[in-house]
Each structure stands twice: as structure tokens, then as C-alpha cells.
Amino acid sequence: MLSAAGLGADVPHGVQHGLSTRIKTIVDRAVAEYTSVNLPMLQAELDQQAARNRARSYRPAENLDPEFEGLPLDPDPVPGAPFLFTISDMAAEADAVVPALPPLSAEAKAALRQEVGLADDYANMVGREVCTILLHHRLRIQAAISEFVEPQIEAMLDELTRSLDAPFDPHDPLSG
């Protein structure tokens, strides 16, 4: 999808992540609507899981702004500096007290796999449609990046260059 939008490796990760998470939201909503209308078994499983999720007392990864969705909850550990606790550990403790979903029969599992496959096929179809639409807006997207993102990058690079060129005050007698 990023390629269809004309976003290459030279575009900052924040721009790529922001666009991709928003597009993922569009695809997810379309698949959710399709599932609710056409895939009753999968919808029932999703409803059960949603009820289970609501029963959890601590849900740190939910209701985040799109730019934070999918990011790790905890920072990478620093060797020799253990965490007293992690957000992921606290969420896992909250999950442990919620009862598991009821088991499915072999026939129900097979039917559910088939519905999941149909949902995946639909998601791929919607994704291809989104790519086609993005191709038509590619020039506008690239123009917006040139207008709004590139000046910010240039300003940051100018500031970095100034701070590297004069790391010490030349008028300070202690810096020489």
C-alpha cells in the first residue's frame, strides 16, 4: 500500500506508519462489516472474544491513537538494568484471570477456518481496491510530502548541522 501511495524508503517512518495504520483501519472496518453480514460463525467468535476482552481489567494496547497502534508496550530492555515490572507483564496477569473461550468441535473448527479464509480473501480484495485508489492520488500524496514533511526534515538537519558545527561557544574561554 505504501508503494501504491508512492512512499519509498526515503519517507520518514512516522509518515509511513501513520498512513499504513489509517489504511489498515479502513480495511479492518470493511472486513468487520462484511463479517457481520456474511460470516455468522466468525462473528459469534469475535463477539465472544470482545466480551472476554471487556472483562479484562487492564487493556493497555486498546483505544490508542492510530500512530501508536501495533507499537511495543514496553521499551527494549537495557542489559544489566532489569525492569521492576513491564506493562506487558501486567496485561498478562489481567488476562490470566479471564476464563478461556469454550472449546470448539472439529466440525466447528473447520467451518470457522473456512469463514476466516473468506474474511482474509475479502480483506485482500479491499486492500487491492485501496491500492488502486492510492495510485490515483499518488501525485497529490507526494506533493503533500514535499510541502509539509520535507521542510520539517530540512529544518531538523539545519539545526543538527548548526549544533555540530559549533558544539562549544567560541567566546567561552573554557571551551578552547
**pLDDT tens-digit readout, 54-93:** 877 777 877 778 777 777 888 888 888 888 788 888 888 8
- 89, 64, 70, 19 alpha-carbon torsion, rounded to 10°: -170
CA 40 to chain centre: 27
Q: Is 23 exposed, middle or buried (0-12, 13-18, 19+ CB in 10 A)?
A: buried
**pLDDT tens-digit readout, 87-138:** 888 888 887 777 788 899 999 999 999 999 999 999 999 999 999 999 999 9
Interval 134-144 mean pLDDT? 94
